[in-house]
């Protein structure tokens, strides 16, 4: 029994020594974290709780809390300054920005600030660091949208012989989308206008080419049983052409 007691005591003393090593290691990390972020409280709180457990004889619980204190402190040492810099850069990047995507980025920045206040600098950095990159990507997209809109306007201006009223309305919608920062919608509308002009121009060429053969076509179906049907169809094509509804005329 005495031998067993001595062995137990030796193990306890050895474990206590190990806990003391963990404690000192944790304290160094906590003090380093506090030197970087004086407002940080979570590492010291875990460390103090560990000391309390050790004083009550709960070495295992104390060791776990010391390790937790070190983990929290290490994150602050590694990420606090990076997070503060990222938040500052994101704040500057968003200053004065407006548009559809900016609201989401401001929410990201708010999340970054919240995580920093909660002493989670790694998460704060992850949120804040993407904001300048996203703003740059959005600005590139807006540039592409502006170019697409200019091309669409130029295409409509050069579309003699076409009814451009609907296209101009869509160009106005694209202009409003661009002004609000919605690059994807602006590009979609502008590209749609260009495609419509190209389709209508091709239809116009086909219909006008066919109408040049109008007399031959009329002569071809003279005397046929369905002459009246063909005549009505021809009149409909001519009317659609007069109305500059070329795609419709081409389908008649």
pLDDT in tens, 11-67: 544 546 688 899 999 999 999 999 999 999 999 999 999 999 999 988 889 999 999
For position 179, what pLDDT does the model report? 87
- Beta-carbon contacts of 190 under 8 Å, excluding residues fewer than 6 positions away, are 145, 148, 149, 151, 152, 171, 174
Is residue 30 within 8 A of residue 73, CB to CB? The reply is yes
pLDDT band per the 50, 70, 90 thresholds, residue 172 = very high
Structure tokens at 228: 């009246």
Among 106-110, 151-155, 189-193, 234-238, the minimum mean pLDDT is found in 234-238
Exposure string for 158-175, b = 16+ CB within 10 A, e = fewer: ebeebebeebeebbebbb
pLDDT score of 121 more than 90: yes
Residue 62 has a pLDDT of 92
Whether the pLDDT of residue 197 is over 60: the answer is yes
Q: Is the pLDDT of residue 98 over 60?
A: yes
């Amino acid at each position: 029994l005495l031998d067993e007691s001595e062995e137990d005591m030796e193990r306890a003393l050895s474990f206590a020594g190990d806990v003391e090593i963990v404690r000192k290691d944790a304290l160094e990390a906590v003090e380093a974290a506090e030197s970087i972020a004086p407002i940080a409280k979570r590492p010291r709180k875990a460390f103090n709780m560990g000391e309390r457990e050790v004083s009550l004889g709960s070495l295992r619980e104390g060791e776990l809390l010391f390790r937790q204190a070190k983990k929290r402190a290490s994150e602050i040492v590694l990420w606090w300054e990076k997070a503060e810099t990222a938040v500052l850069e994101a704040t500057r990047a968003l200053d004065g920005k407006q548009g559809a995507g900016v609201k989401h980025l401001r929410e990201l920045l708010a999340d970054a600030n919240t995580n920093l206040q909660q002493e989670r600098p790694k998460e704060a950095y992850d949120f804040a660091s993407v904001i300048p990159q996203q703003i740059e990507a959005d600005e590139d997209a807006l540039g592409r949208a502006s170019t697409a809109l200019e091309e669409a306007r130029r295409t409509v201006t050069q579309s003699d012989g076409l009814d451009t009223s609907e296209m101009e309305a869509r160009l106005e919608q694209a202009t409003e989308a661009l002004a609000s920062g919605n690059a994807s919608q602006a590009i979609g509308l502008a590209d749609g206008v260009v495609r419509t002009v190209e389709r209508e121009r091709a239809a116009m060429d086909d219909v006008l080419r066919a109408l040049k053969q109008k007399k031959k076509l009329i002569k071809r179906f003279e005397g046929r049983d369905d002459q009246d049907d063909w005549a009505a169809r021809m009149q409909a094509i001519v009317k659609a052409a007069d109305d500059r509804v070329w795609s419709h005329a081409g389908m008649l």
